Structure 1
Amino acid sequence: MTVDHRPGPAEEVGQVTLHAFVDESFAGDYIVAAAVVPANDVNGARAAVRRLLRPGQERIHFKKESDARRAQILTGLEALDLTVRVYLAENGRDARSVCLERMVPDLATLGVTRLVLERSDPLVDADRRALFELTRKHACDLEYRHLRAHEDLLLCVADAVAWCYTKGGRWRDRVSAYSTVIRP
């Protein structure tokens, strides 16, 4: 496994308790993005994302935004104290499992104690089984739960970065300063 590492402010601090917010994209390669936020900054980060919502909008779904709006959202996200871990796998039947197998020990090593995954009903049971096994295998104390995107606004950060990596080009360049790519 190789890691293209770009440390962000949260990683430079050292032993800080972290939370991670996870979403996926599977156009082309299978991509799982985990936005990592210091626990003491989570409420402020949520408030910052809430300010990016348009009137009446309950969540940001990057795929449905215009390019101008995407640029505006990314400018807002760039101001947050966070990093994003991007796990790549060849798209296929086991791609999500491959990404989770890389993600759990990586996030545990960083100091992540709480993991929030965007809820996709067909995946919840398999995720719970996999996460139970992986946290035991790697002896990490990681609380995890599945929430819908509107239930935790920080899930939109992972959604945005995963979308940008899928699109590539200028979009990937835009998020690369605070992203770390983890490949097989």
Structure 2
Amino acid sequence: MSLHVFIDESRRGNLYLLAAALVMPADLGPTRALMRSLRVPGERKVHLHQERGAVKKEIAAALVTAGVRARVYVGHGPPDATRARLLRAAVTDLVAISVRRLVLDSRGQDRDQLDRRVIRSALTAGAADPGLMTYEHLRSHEDPALWVADVVAWCHGAGGEWRRRIGPVVERVIDLDEKARSPGARRPARSCPGPLPRPSGLGC
């Protein structure tokens, strides 16, 4: 199984969150088409925190109906250091499920370079071939699949009603703070009881 993954972030105070949208190769086209259909006319992209409440609800519901899959990585602390910890954890986790392509929302040339160093380090530390996973940064308007990660990140980070709305999409949450508090725990991540069904709304 070869997966494409699209990552975006959300920050709230000292909470830092990375959301990873998992997309099968055959679902790339339908996923992009779905996200374009949810874009407000006149806008270049879906960016959930800018949308009205009714639009937010419509977009979140559409992702749930489509059977989109995502994972979330959570930590607290200084932004740069916390992002690096989360990205290392994400790479380790994603390699284990045969992810072969990773796309991150670009934050500018210098910060993107920092991400690349973290990814290379994580691959090497995990005894994985650095060429096993290709990775790149794109500006958010360049690939609508990135908008899935934006929606998941915003909803999960918002908590409450929004986290419940996007919950069916999130198959796993890895909380690095929880892991740090319980180093002997066998299940540092929360997982859904079973795999999500194939995305019926994506033409599969």
Q: The TM-score by the shorter chain falls in which range? A: 0.7 to 0.9
Q: Structure 1 pair 103/116, CA: closer, same or farther in 2 (3 Å)?
A: same
1:124 aligns with 2:104: no
Supply the distance in 2 between the matched residues of 1:163 and 1:182 (Cα, whole angstroms).
16
Please, what TM-score do these two structures have when normalized by structure 1?
A: 0.87
Q: CA deviation at 1:91?
A: 2.7
1:24 aligns with 2:9: yes
Larger Rg: 2
The alpha carbon displacement at 1:56 in A equals 2.1
The letter of the residue matching 1:133 is: S
For the residue of structure 2 that corresponds to 1:60, the secondary structure is coil
Tell me the TM-score normalized by structure 2.
0.79
CA contact (8 A) 1:62 1:70 kept: yes
Aligned Cα root-mean-square deviation (Å)? 1.3
Q: Report 1 or 2 for greater relative contact order, CA contacts < 8 Å, sequence distance ≥ 6.
A: 1
Aligned match of 1:4: none
Matched, 1:77 2:68: no
Looking at structure 1, the residues matched to 40 and 16 of structure 2 have their Cα atoms a distance apart, in angstroms, of: 30
The within-5 A match list for 1:66-145 is 66-92=52-78, 93-121=80-108, 122-138=110-126, 139-140=128-129, 141-145=132-136
Selected match of 1:33 from 13, 16, 19: 19
Report if aligned partners of 2:6, 2:21 keep a CA contact under 8 Å in 1: yes
- Which structure 1 residue ranges, 4+ long, deviate > 6 Å from structure 2? none
Aligned to 1:59, which of 45, 66, 71?
45
Deviation at 1:48, TM superposition (A): 1.0
Q: Which runs of 5+ in 2 are unaligned?
A: 177-204
Pairs aligned (count): 169
For 1:115 and 1:23, how far apart are their aligned partners in 2? 11
Identity of paired residues, percent?
A: 37
Instruction: Determine the C-alpha separation between the residues in 2 that align with 1:67 and 1:91.
Output: 29
